[in-house]
Amino acid sequence: MTTPRRTRAAAGALPAAVVVLAALAAGCGTRHPDEDAGAQGPSRTSVATPTRPADFPCPGESPAPTPSATAAADAGTPPDHYAENHGFRVPIALRGQARCAGLAAAARIERTLRPLRERGDFDPEHTRAALVGLGYPDGKVKAYQNGDRAVGFLIVAPSMCLEGSMRREAAQADAFGGYPDGSDCEPPRGGH
C-alpha cells in the first residue's frame, strides 16, 4: 500500500517541478542590474553605434518638404538596373554643418556670377576669374563652355566640391562631398 501513495505523491510533485523550472527559465523573480539604476547607481552603458551628422535646416533655408504620394508609390517599384549600375556616379551628399557650408558657398557663387549673366558674358575665362576672385585657388577652378550661351564650372574646395552652370536664365551651383569611387570632384568614368 505504500507504493500507490508514493506514486501519487511523485505524480503530484512532477507538475509542480515543471512549473518552478519554467518560472526560473523565464526569469521570474530575478533582478536585473539596470533596475532601479537611479536609486542604486548609474545605469548600464549602451553600445556606441556609428552616426552620421544630422541634417537640420540651415540659415536661410525653409524646412524640407514632405515626400509626395508619387515618391511613396515609387518606393515599391523594382530597382532600375541602369541606376544601380551607375550608382558610382552619384555624388556623395553633404550632411550636417558641412551641408550648411555647402549651401552658403553655392549661394555666394550664384551671387558672384549674377553680374556676368545679366551682361550676357558667358566666357569661361571670365567665369573662372570671378570664381578665383572668391578665394578659391587658381589651379582648383575649372570653367568650360557648355553650349552656345552657357558656362559650366567645377571647384575643388578643401572640404567639398562645387559644380554648376551659368545660363541666360540663371546661375546655379551645387555642393557635394565627392564620389563613392574616390575620384575626388571629377565625375568618374567607366562602369558596366
User: DSSP labels for 32-84?
Assistant: -TTTTHHHHSPPPPPPP----PPP-PPTT-PPPPPPPHHHHHHTTSPPPHHHH
In tens, the pLDDT along 1-51 reads 444 554 444 455 545 544 444 444 445 454 544 444 444 444 444 444 445
Per-domain residue ranges for the chain?
90-176
Segment 122-151, tens digit of pLDDT: 999 999 999 999 999 999 999 999 888 899
pLDDT single digits (tens) 65-84: 444 444 444 555 556 676 66
Residue 88 DSSP class: G
Say what the pTM is.
0.61
